[in-house]
Structure 1
Amino acid sequence: MSESDPISTESTYQNPLIERYASREMATLWGPERRFQTWRQLWIALAESEQELGLPISDAQLEQLRKFRTKLNLDVAKEYERVRRHDVMAHVEAYGDQCPEAKPIIHLGATSCFITDNADVILIRDALGLIARRLAATIDAMGRFAVQHRALPCLGFTHLQPAQPTTVGKRCCLWTYDLVLDLHEIQHRLETLCARSAKGTTGTQASFLQLFGGDHDKVRQLEQKVAQKIGFDKTYAVTGQTYPRKVDAQLLDALSGIAQSLHKTATDIRLLANRKEIEEPIEKHQIGSSAMPYKRNPMRSERICALTRFVMSLQSSPAMTAATQWMERTLDDSANRRLVIPQAFLAIDASLVLMQNIASGFVVYPKTIEHNLAKELPYMETENIMMKAVKAGGDRQELHERIRVHSREVAQRVNAEGKPNDMIDRLRDDPAFSAVDFNTEINPLDFVGRAPEQVDEFIQEQIEPIRQRYAGESSLSVEVTV
């Protein structure tokens, strides 16, 4: 292949987030057409606001700008950029070629960051809105699963060792609550996101002050008008050339928070799949292994862990960028932000699609759950037995020691010899517990406390308000592509 030959998509690296994982909605949002149409939206908003405040911009010029807002000539812009080595000016010239009457007033008084930074906050705002809707849909699906299994007892774990029983529904509420907290944080980021608007080259608005003949009030009005035209009711109080890069660091903190929650949940699902208690959905013709046909690998959960680990690794980049913005700004933020911000959104979007898919199709094996719990339940019963023996006049410390000794012997029997758990039989034959009635059958629900009621309360207090808030939102695609 010569240097002049066109590069085919088959011969060059393609981003898997676009090819394999992210939804069409998120991939389109961060695509070049959407970005450059947003740039033109900003040039129109600026020109309209300047005309409204008295600058000599004609209706015909504005109409020409509006006519070509979505009719992009990207090939022309690409050639200009090859020559100019400046993306914003390349698009100014390409837009001007289509709008010759308006060419003199395109970008009037603005700096490049008027375009790039305002476009970024628009795209970030819309991407946050998509993420909020995906979170709400995932929370809804997980809530429905929690209700369905609110009172299904299962073995609880601390330190990944058997502990007091809980229920399948209550465990799902633990997963869901992390996502509820994440949604609150995303909503906060949306509520506090501002426009950069018309701040000028170093944030002093000097060029706009000159355009308006020193009229400070008109410059302030220009800033508010532009912000309102692009859908913001407030602007950042002060800026250098860019909006505060602190905002990007806070944004990645919020996206990383979602990643942390999803990674924890997906890991739990993988562990439960190993115990044959709960599995993610598997399609009829899905292959788990090229070598082992019988395998049912937790592919979706594993992919969530891979993608969310990537997002968590991105968290440090905006923090370092914010820390190294010298004086009014440096340009070492640009290439980094082009990579980090869109890809973080794309990876979180893909992970939420997967988690909603899993939550909507969990496969539960109650008999296996019951069997696994039954193996450990005699240990759980010992506390009740000890309390009954104390009530009948026994010494609590002596009884505790007797149970400890029996437990060690039972563990040896079960773990080393593969024999059944005979803990209750041992205590029944121990004279120290002769006053206890052992005829009552062990009921697993006696050990789960208020877990079922906690599920009910969690659904009502935490999930229902989210369902109501997002009830009118249009549905998003949830197709798992690969």
Structure 2
Amino acid sequence: MADPNTVYQTPLASRYASKEMAYNWSNAKKFATWRRLWIALATCERQLGLTDITQEALDQMAQHVEDIDYAAAAEEERKRRHDVMAHVHTFGVAAPAAAGIIHLGATSCYITDNSELILIRDALDLLIPKLVQLIRVMRDFAMAQRSLPTLGFTHFQPAQLTTVGKRASLWLQELLMDLRNITRVRDDLCFRGVKGTTGTQGSFLALFDGDHDKVKQLDRLVTAYFNFPKAYPVTGQTYTRKVDLDLLSALGSFGATAHKIATDVRLLAHLKEMEEPIEADQIGSSAMAYKRNPMRSERVCSLGRHLMTLVSNAQQTAATQWFERTLDDSANRRVTLPEAFLTADIVVAHLVNIVQGAVVYPRVIQARIAQELPFMATENIIMAMVRAGGDRQACHEAIRVASRDAAAQVKQHGRPNDLIDRIRANPYFKPVHDQLDRLLDPASFVGRAPEQVAEFVAEEVDPLLATHQHAQAGAMEVNV
């Protein structure tokens, strides 16, 4: 066996992915699933009256589902240049009583497409509970921080205040959309079933001497054998690659959400307002010992970008299928489908880790607010002066001059914003001096942000989580 350090391995599996998702796309599961598909086909064909299929054949196949001779299969494929037929032969050697009936009436896509649909379904069943867990921890973070005022940004320029929790609710809303999209893909997923070489079921019609009912029953029985609610009613040789496009679109959309969240965290880390977790012995830079780089968030952006690019791949594949099928999808999908799920799995785990361990720095947030709030409060001060009997235009001019001078202190001299000190020192503003603390309370500038978060969680988040209350994700370790 080759030293794994001397051959390329995808870092998605070797470096980052969870054990369960990596196993789902492994050769061990893939080829064992192929054998289960052959067993299902033979079992159902025998049930419908094909007496050439013996119980001994079924028993021998059942005894050799997972003990696969990979070396023999590889040698057979080298000779035949056909992976499915190589494994038909290898399975027949292991179960000689079944050698003549394995794959009876089927085409290769009975094995490849149906196995891929099984792996996709199982991968979704691994991913969805993890996404639910991410929504739970994001919900808790949003609620815990719903009332903490922070400076909002538009165009990454200081804007009106919001709250830390309200900003998190924007992330949360996109995650809800992703959960709905991915769950809908899972609910829509069907089996290819038993359709034959060009989807006409002609080989099975011949096998059952023209009995249409038995052919339909065979399709239903094999589909039910693998716990799919139904098969796609019509196919070519393959199930339509539009299914893959639908799937990758949902996963790629989640990639965009993840990239947006992680980018915001990276920007907040630069502002020193919020940080992702960091281990005691973690090194941020090999040269600059003081650095605390947002490594997890950067990785989410990196892999989220990869996940997004896979959508266009699925678009190209769906668009270029000729008539009943062409084989230029095969090698492509061997890469695209596993990578999409491995990447999504890694990104979810990292986001859970980031949100659960996120550190918020209220004093830094307050200091930044203090730099900008005096300018934002000027309209409130003008209105308070008018209520105290002042002239609106005169007050506006006094505020304008004071704001200009305060801005010059900040921009030209790097000094703190002293606008409020200037207002306190100006006898003109004496009627509102005792109101300034109240007029400058950050909580009075966040509008309904705290209430919006609570209402959003109660009306949208919690009901959706309730529909997934049995979705339990295992421990999500962030590797490397």
Cα-Cα RMSD? 2.0
SS at match of 1:101: helix
1:49 to 33, 38, 44: 44
Q: Matches of 2:3 and 2:270 in 1, distance apart?
A: 43
Instruction: Give how far 1:329 is off.
Output: 0.8
1:462 to 441, 448, 460: 460
Does the 8 Å CA contact 2:38/2:102 hold for their aligned counterparts? Answer: yes
Does the 8 Å CA contact 1:394/1:432 hold for their aligned counterparts? Answer: no
TM-score by length of 2: 0.94
Q: Match for 1:445: what amino acid?
A: A
Q: Matches of 2:221 and 2:393 in 1, distance apart?
A: 76
1:472 to 462, 465, 470: 470
Q: Matches of 1:232 and 1:414 in 2, distance apart?
A: 66
> Which residue number corresponds to residue 3 of structure 1?
none
2:191 counterpart of 1:191: no
> Which residue number corresponds to residue 82 of structure 2?
86
> Which residue number corresponds to residue 217 of structure 1?
213
2:134 counterpart of 1:138: yes
Q: Matches of 1:183 and 1:397 in 2, distance apart?
A: 53
> Which residue number corresponds to residue 34 of structure 2?
39
Identity %: 54
2:15 counterpart of 1:17: no
User: For the structure 1 residues 211 and 305, does the alpha-carbon distance in structure 2 shift closer, same or farther, using more than 3 Å as the test?
Assistant: same
List runs of 5+ in structure 1 lacking aligned partners: 1-5
User: For the structure 1 residues 402 and 262, does the alpha-carbon distance in structure 2 shift closer, same or farther, using more than 3 Å as the test?
Assistant: farther
Once the two structures are superposed, residues 68-106 of structure 1 have per-residue CA deviations (whole angstroms, 9 ceiling, x without a partner) of 122222221111111111000000000000111111111
1:30 to 25, 31, 55: 25
Equivalenced residues, count: 477
Once the two structures are superposed, residues 193-231 of structure 1 have per-residue CA deviations (whole angstroms, 9 ceiling, x without a partner) of 110001111111110111111111111111111111111
User: For the structure 1 residues 58 and 393, does the alpha-carbon distance in structure 2 shift closer, same or farther, using more than 3 Å as the test?
Assistant: farther
Does the 8 Å CA contact 2:132/2:471 hold for their aligned counterparts? Answer: no
1:453 to 430, 436, 451: 451
2:415 counterpart of 1:419: yes
Q: Matches of 1:439 and 1:184 in 2, distance apart?
A: 48
Q: Matches of 1:440 and 1:430 in 2, distance apart?
A: 13
Instruction: Give how far 1:424 is off.
Output: 3.1
1:151-300 equivalences under 5 Å are 151-300=147-296
Query: Stretches of 4+ moved more than 4 A in 1?
Result: 389-406, 425-438
Once the two structures are superposed, residues 242-277 of structure 1 have per-residue CA deviations (whole angstroms, 9 ceiling, x without a partner) of 001011111111111111011011011111111111
Q: Matches of 1:412 and 1:49 in 2, distance apart?
A: 83
> Which residue number corresponds to residue 384 of structure 1?
380
Does the 8 Å CA contact 2:21/2:342 hold for their aligned counterparts? Answer: yes
> Which residue number corresponds to residue 355 of structure 2?
359
TM-score by length of 1: 0.94
Instruction: Give how far 1:406 is off.
Output: 4.5
SS at match of 2:197: coil
Once the two structures are superposed, residues 333-370 of structure 1 have per-residue CA deviations (whole angstroms, 9 ceiling, x without a partner) of 00110111100111111111111011111111111111
Instruction: Give how far 1:420 is off.
Output: 2.1
List runs of 5+ in structure 2 lacking aligned partners: none
User: For the structure 1 residues 139 and 397, does the alpha-carbon distance in structure 2 shift closer, same or farther, using more than 3 Å as the test?
Assistant: farther
> Which residue number corresponds to residue 307 of structure 1?
303
2:330 counterpart of 1:334: yes
SS at match of 2:406: helix
Which one is further off, 121-130 or 59-68? 59-68
SS at match of 2:435: coil
Q: Matches of 1:147 and 1:135 in 2, distance apart?
A: 18
Q: Matches of 2:394 and 2:321 in 1, distance apart?
A: 67
2:402 counterpart of 1:410: no
SS at match of 2:377: helix
